[in-house]
Structure 1
């Protein structure tokens, strides 16, 4: 009798192992296929949005969101395949989700901020911005984070909520920018000649816009110099090229014209007693 029970138990165990093994294999196959479907769906959504000429920022965000949603659904299906009661699991997850949500307020805030960034678009992929305590070119806006590339080619990952804690400066959104420079000359120099020379330098640079008209004005009678404010307008793409070359040109032309560019100095008098 005992032998029969052992044999029956062994047969049932073997049958259960075979059945469970098939379920596990099926779950693995479903998981693998689901991941591939999620990737294909993300790529398909991105391709369709590109054809409609939607903003690049929205394309990336929507593609990533599609991938995460499909992957979550696949996970639920896989758990159901191996015998987990998904209805009860969803109820439990709903209850646990409240507690987890409170513990992960920062992450949920990042998700909400990511949605806000997509809706209101304070910046887009490719813009050079300053915000979240750093600055760089926007490479990607993801669900939790925004990825920036710094001018020295470092990757900066900024939580989305950081952008709503302080102001955001977008240097790329406008077509034109103003360059603000200050040039100091000596008190013995002819200020009319200085203004004439600065006007001539700006007029010769074809990258400087005629409208708005560049500003050249005496800004300050400082301790060691007479300071002129020079504020030309340029296309945003030309900003740094003009910024650097203009200073070099002014230095060369001032030297050639004999205009002194003073620097802070002190005169020391020694009295012998």
Structure 2
């Protein structure tokens, strides 16, 4: 009886295998097609992303993700072909729970990775741009999957999380080819203010040709200071980073100082005068004499 029962089971398995053979063959075909299709998708996506993203690690990550999606779709189709919908539901449930646990555990890392991918596709920030963000200013050296690298003017390297760049505002000096420079100064109260304005604008235009730039130079007297009448002059230079701005401001200060000295225009410095109405030492001496 036991032998006959075993034989019946084997026959039943054989019959089931024969019935399921077309589905098995179809499932194998689907898996093979999914594999080769994923390779094609990987290469195509990598080629397309490379045109938009200069960082190869980001491009490969996006291409691998696309290939995994294709393989996953092929796996789900295969399970349906084999009538394993129950197994498919179990896998989806397990994947959902595992994804939730992993997402909570790696929330910061995944956030930085996603932010890095988004930053790689943004047109207003690229490698080589000079930006200012999160209290730092420098050249963008790298946009990686987890961090953002800046090189400051003093050659220090600053590494920032991608999330902080995406969530905070930043100033990109490289988006335009012109930078406006502002210089403030003060002259004494007995100065000829019209002459000061004319001399300042002529000096700036002499060393920073403003005629070749469409935007006009601006000169304003700002306030009556404690020891001077203060003014502000704003002019434009060609540049895409903060270094030319610092150099232009330094040169403007030097040239304005030279021009004022030549024209006998005084740039005063604060002076504090102390006045005593009563002399306490004299009072004490008088009391002692008595």
TM-score normalised by the shorter chain: which range applies?
Answer: 0.5 to 0.7
**Uncovered stretches (5+) of structure 2, i.e. residues with no partner:** 1-41, 69-89, 283-290
SS at match of 1:177: strand
Alignment counterpart, residue 167 of structure 2, candidates 165, 180, 198: 165
Counterparts of 2:134 and 2:102, CA distance in 1:
26
1:221 is the counterpart of 2:224: yes
Q: 1:162 to 1:49 in 2, by over 3 A?
A: closer
Q: How well do the aligned residues superpose, as a CA RMSD in angstroms? A: 3.1
Does the CA contact (< 8 Å) of 2:208 and 2:237 recur in 1?
Answer: no
Q: How does 1:170-209 map to 2 (within 5 A)?
A: 170-208=172-210, 209=212
Match of 2:101 in 1: 99
Match of 1:258 in 2: 264
Q: 1:178 to 1:121 in 2, by over 3 A?
A: same
Does the CA contact (< 8 Å) of 1:128 and 1:135 recur in 2?
Answer: yes
Does the CA contact (< 8 Å) of 2:131 and 2:140 recur in 1?
Answer: yes
Does the CA contact (< 8 Å) of 2:183 and 2:252 recur in 1?
Answer: no
Match of 1:230 in 2: 233
Match of 1:241 in 2: 247
Q: How does 1:76-155 map to 2 (within 5 A)?
A: 95-155=97-157
Larger Rg computed on CA atoms: 2
Q: 1:68 to 1:213 in 2, by over 3 A?
A: closer
SS at match of 2:159: strand
Does the CA contact (< 8 Å) of 2:187 and 2:230 recur in 1?
Answer: yes
TM-score using structure 1 length:
0.67
Does the CA contact (< 8 Å) of 1:175 and 1:235 recur in 2?
Answer: yes
Match of 1:34 in 2: none
Q: 1:123 to 1:69 in 2, by over 3 A?
A: closer
Q: 1:165 to 1:133 in 2, by over 3 A?
A: farther
Match of 2:54 in 1: 59
Which moved further from structure 2: 198-207 or 103-112? 198-207
Q: Deviations over 1:158-206 (max 9, x none)?
A: 1110013321111221111111111110111111111111121022124
